[in-house]
Structure 1
Amino acid sequence: MHTPSRSEFIDVRGVRTHVRHWGREGAPKIFMVHGWMDVSASFQFVVDSLRGDWHVIAPDWRGFGLTARPPVDTYWFVDYLGDLDAILRHYQPDEPVNLLGHSMGGNVVGLYAGARPARIRRLVNLEGFGMPSTTPDQAPRRYAKWMDELLVPQEMRGYPTLDDVAARLQKTNPRLTDARAAFLAQHWSARNERGEWAILGDPAHKRISPLLYHVEEVMACWRAITAPVLWVEATHTNMWLWMGPKEEARVEIDRRLGHLANVTAKMMDNAGHMLHHDQPEELARMLEEFLT
């Protein structure tokens, strides 16, 4: 049996935003934010594994899940910071928060915790490594690629059945059990006008950002974080696909970790990048040990 969740829609900077809640109103809060092409229901298995009395709050980012899709052709990363700030002010305006982010969400919470250090009680980063470093000479090609992509309509592939969506999830993550894949499929997709099951993500998210990744600006934010940080990686992560060769990327990741003043780094066995799906019980144990 899954812990029941309840949905709420709030206005976040003019965008109708879906927020999922689990647990008792009035209990200590944990805010959880998902990654790219994911949804808030992705945290269901971790919530199921929590043993304490918690109120978990997880939004769908703009253009994902049940949150509205603003009329844009490009999504800007700083908007996630603005949205997160508004969400936290709505639900916990006066006290520091327990904040968790996975993947893209981990990158968002890392920047936010540096920009608003007094707002964070405890920070949890699940595989939010950032992106490879860039150099200014990459800018012309990046701008050109972005403009080229604006000329091509983006689409989300449709699937005939929910079982096909579940199979697609398991193709990406072979560790995903049939039961968990079936649960996620019904929250990760919805019927489109053709009667197919389409992923609940705005196709515009697939376009490249025209802005380069300025790693030292990110590290300046990480250095400004004052809250304790729990950093969790998975032994079978596929981050090397975007971070570069493992040996070189490992050195860079460890360098970045050195910018966090108070960090506890953990490695999760038998898990890939979607570690909250692969080992939710172990992650829940880590969380509660860290937060309490």
Structure 2
Amino acid sequence: MTEPADRFYESQGLRLHYVDWGNVSAPPLVLIHGGLDHCRSWDAIARELQPDFHIMAPDLRGHGDSEWAKGSSYSLTDNVYDLTRLMRFAELQDAAIVGHSMGGMVALAYAGTYPEKVSRLVVLDGAFLSNSQAAPIAEQMSRWITQLDRIGDHQESTFGSIEEAAKRLSTRNKRLTPALALHLAGHGVRKGDDGLYRWKFDHYQRARAPYRLSSEDYAGLWSRIACPTLLMWGDESFLPDPEAAGLLGHFKTAEMEKIAGAGHWLHHDRLDVVLASLRRFLDTTSSPKAVDSRITG
């Protein structure tokens, strides 16, 4: 299957999008992207693993081709609820989940809430706890309100072409090949009536609302996860090493893999290594295929 099918479902009144890679008789695998990203970020991995799994990749609310939330409703718990709706809508049972960054946090929270519904869990650079003390609630409220005001006054970035947007992505991650940057930009921007391209994601997601889970809440959820869990981390990531931070102690059964020469976007920086690890951990049986050069370049 060269291109996935577009599907839509509803959650909290929002029309949310996901792609379905077919192979419905195979075990389900859900791929969850990170913040300010989109579901087609997983294409290279989805094409490789599709012979062994029925793969679905959602666009989180406010991302890709999913609707934007009204009123800045982008909490972790909202995203977890959306995932429960997708699981019910697609009638997924005992699914494996792979999540990157914020998508990994969503996957961890879901697996901790419903440990019996996840067969295996892989988190790419998305397991971390803040060591800083929470600011007084008045300070959090004031900071959040200021952030919302700034975002409301923010002038959106515009691009004259998809190639121009691709160049912007390449400045954020120097390891992106031109072909991969163009692929990500092509699915990450939307052309307006004025002929200019803009990012599909909602900028209001950048605001840090005061109703966030605490580190103790996260740790409590992680301790409930019952399935085998793999935490992956790039040694050039801006996030701390989960093992050095002592996070493995919060899990019943978790293993850690550190990937050399990779930053935050592990599956873009070292696709070969990530794919090999996923094949091993998810216990696939098919032989590796040649990775699509249209994506990796």
Taking the aligned partners of 1:250 and 1:71, their CA distance within structure 2 comes to 35
Q: Give the letter for the 1:175 counterpart.
A: R
Q: Which moved more, 1:173-182 or 1:206-215?
A: 206-215
Residue aligning to 2:235: 235
Q: Which moved more, 1:276-285 or 1:53-62?
A: 276-285
Residue aligning to 1:282: 273
The SS at the match of 2:21 is strand
Q: Give the letter for the 2:200 counterpart.
A: L
Q: Give the letter for the 1:233 counterpart.
A: W
Taking the aligned partners of 2:86 and 2:208, their CA distance within structure 1 comes to 26
Assess if the C-alpha contact under 8 Å between 2:62 and 2:201 holds in 1. Answer: yes
| 1:99 shift after superposition | 0.8
Q: In the alignment, which of 225, 240, 248 is matched to residue 257 of structure 1?
A: 248
Residue aligning to 2:149: 151
Gaps of 5+ in 2: 284-297
Residue aligning to 2:293: none
With structure 1 as the length reference, what TM-score do the two structures score?
Answer: 0.89
Residue aligning to 1:187: 187
Assess if the C-alpha contact under 8 Å between 1:133 and 1:214 holds in 2. Answer: no
Give structure 1 regions of 4+ aligned residues with deviation exceeding 6 angstroms: none
The SS at the match of 1:254 is coil
Superposition pairs for residues 19-98 of structure 1, below 5 Å?
A: 19-50=18-49, 52-93=51-92, 95-98=93-96
Gaps of 5+ in 1: 240-248
Percent sequence identity over aligned pairs: 28
Assess if the C-alpha contact under 8 Å between 1:7 and 1:18 holds in 2. Answer: yes
Taking the aligned partners of 1:131 and 1:157, their CA distance within structure 2 comes to 31
CA RMSD of aligned residues (A): 2.0
Residue aligning to 2:165: 165
Assess if the C-alpha contact under 8 Å between 1:49 and 1:280 holds in 2. Answer: no
The SS at the match of 1:151 is helix
Assess if the C-alpha contact under 8 Å between 1:99 and 1:122 holds in 2. Answer: yes
| 1:22 shift after superposition | 1.6
Taking the aligned partners of 2:242 and 2:189, their CA distance within structure 1 comes to 38
| 1:58 shift after superposition | 0.5
> Alpha-carbon deviations, 1:215-235, whole Å to 9, x = none?
011001111111110111112
| 1:53 shift after superposition | 2.5
Residue aligning to 1:111: 109
Compared CA separation, residues 65 and 268, structure 1 to 2 (3 A): same
Assess if the C-alpha contact under 8 Å between 1:33 and 1:105 holds in 2. Answer: yes
Assess if the C-alpha contact under 8 Å between 2:127 and 2:242 holds in 1. Answer: no
Taking the aligned partners of 2:229 and 2:282, their CA distance within structure 1 comes to 10
Assess if the C-alpha contact under 8 Å between 2:9 and 2:89 holds in 1. Answer: no
Assess if the C-alpha contact under 8 Å between 2:28 and 2:94 holds in 1. Answer: no
Give the aligned length: 281
| 1:49 shift after superposition | 3.1
Compared CA separation, residues 155 and 123, structure 1 to 2 (3 A): farther
| 1:21 shift after superposition | 1.5
Q: Give the letter for the 1:209 counterpart.
A: A
The SS at the match of 2:17 is strand
Q: Give the letter for the 1:34 counterpart.
A: H
Superposition pairs for residues 124-143 of structure 1, below 5 Å?
A: 124-143=122-141
With structure 2 as the length reference, what TM-score do the two structures score?
Answer: 0.88
The SS at the match of 2:123 is strand
